[in-house]
Amino acid sequence: MVKNTPTITTYSTRGGSGKTLISVNLAYWFASKLGKKTVIVDADIEAPSLDRILLSKPTKKDFSPEHTWVHYLDGVTDIENILLETEYDNLYLIRSPPPEIGKRFLSNKRQEWWATALKRGIIAQQELLNKLGIDWIIIDNQSGISMNSVNHMALADNSLLVLRPANYGVDATFEFLREMISILQATVQTRQDFFVWNQVPQPQNNYEEKLLDKFLGEWDDFFIKMGVKPTIRIPYVHSVSIELLGKNAGIFSHIKEFYEGIELIAKKIIDSSNL
């Protein structure tokens, strides 16, 4: 059976769905539970957040402002320079620059630049996996529909759509995907697309439980028909939000309700992708 590339991009058309937290905790799961060399790429070029989560202690590598994913895509630095160690075993980070630099970067790029960026992204993927000994690449994508987010969706053989259960948001996502998914799936035969419900409220009574099931169940069917596979429903976990107010926040392996979900998603992707 043909294997797909061990790369996962999270994405969502709306902000704040939980892409970053799920990406970081997935990457941590591969690195800590499986002991796989895993890199997480901060592809949220206009609003990066992974420095705060993963580089709270100094790293061994030079922290040059030009050693970022954006600079790599632009051809001004090499893959070896942008792969940073984190304080966690087996977990590496590729950063984005500060938002003002990222925004400036994106503001004047033509279509051709994005085509070249996608090619460079594919080369980066090959170099990370074949030359630098990386086993898994997790890409934390930018919210919304843009050249940047679509490029990163195309780059990974596995995508994970992070959905918050709110009608208007899911509607827009569905319309966008209807056009995109068949194109992406036609390009790479081994491609796998998944979705996860995140921040799902806990029903307080039977009526709410039925309503939630009806709402999510209907959307499940729509996404499945489109070729996007369900994973799980992660509840809204208060302690996740509260911990994020603290200093070293972001990895939630100690929060059972959240981390069990992460583990199930990872296993589902591994199983379905024959990886």
Interface residues with ligand ATP (CB under 6 A)? 12, 15-21, 44, 47, 143, 198-199, 234, 236-237, 240-241, 244, 258
Structure-token match 């000994």, residue found: 133
Judged by CB, which is closer to ligand ATP: 96, or 198?
A: 198
Judged by beta carbon distances under 5 to 8 A according to partner kind, the member of ligand ATP, Mg ion, none in contact with residue 148 is none
Judged by beta carbon distances under 5 to 8 A according to partner kind, the member of Mg ion, ligand ATP, none in contact with residue 12 is ligand ATP
Provide the 8-state DSSP code for 96.
-
Q: State whether residue 229 is helix, strand or coil.
A: strand
**Binding string, residues 8-37; x marks residues near Mg ion by CB under 5 A:** -----------xx-----------------
Conformation bin of residue 9: beta by default, left when phi > 0, alpha when psi is -120 to 50: beta
Judged by beta carbon distances under 5 to 8 A according to partner kind, the member of Mg ion, ligand ATP, none in contact with residue 244 is ligand ATP
Size of the site for Mg ion (CB under 5 A): 2
- Rounded to a whole number of angstroms, the minimum distance from the CB of residue 49 to Mg ion is 5
Judged by beta carbon distances under 5 to 8 A according to partner kind, the member of Mg ion, ligand ATP, none in contact with residue 236 is ligand ATP
- Rounded to a whole number of angstroms, the minimum distance from the CB of residue 9 to Mg ion is 12
Residue 252's CB is within 10 A of a number of other CB atoms, namely: 21
- Rounded to a whole number of angstroms, the minimum distance from the CB of residue 190 to ligand ATP is 26
- Rounded to a whole number of angstroms, the minimum distance from the CB of residue 143 to ligand ATP is 4
Identify the helix (H) or strand (E) that includes residue 139: strand 136-140
User: What is the CA angle 5-152-119, rounded to 5?
Assistant: 75
DSSP H helices in 164-205: 167-187
- Rounded to a whole number of angstroms, the minimum distance from the CB of residue 173 to Mg ion is 16
Residue 13 structure tokens: 């058309």
Judged by CB, which is closer to ligand ATP: 129, or 250?
A: 250
Judged by CB, which is closer to Mg ion: 55, or 226?
A: 55
- Rounded to a whole number of angstroms, the minimum distance from the CB of residue 25 to ligand ATP is 9
How far is the CA of 119 from the CAs of 139, 145, 156, in angstroms? 16, 19, 12
Judged by CB, which is closer to Mg ion: 198, or 231?
A: 198
Judged by beta carbon distances under 5 to 8 A according to partner kind, the member of ligand ATP, Mg ion, none in contact with residue 95 is none
How far is the CA of 130 from the CAs of 15, 77, 124, 133, 136, in angstroms? 33, 19, 10, 6, 11
- The Cα–Cα gap between 92 and 84 comes to 5
Provide the 8-state DSSP code for 226.
T
Interface residues toward Mg ion, by CB under 5 A: 19-20
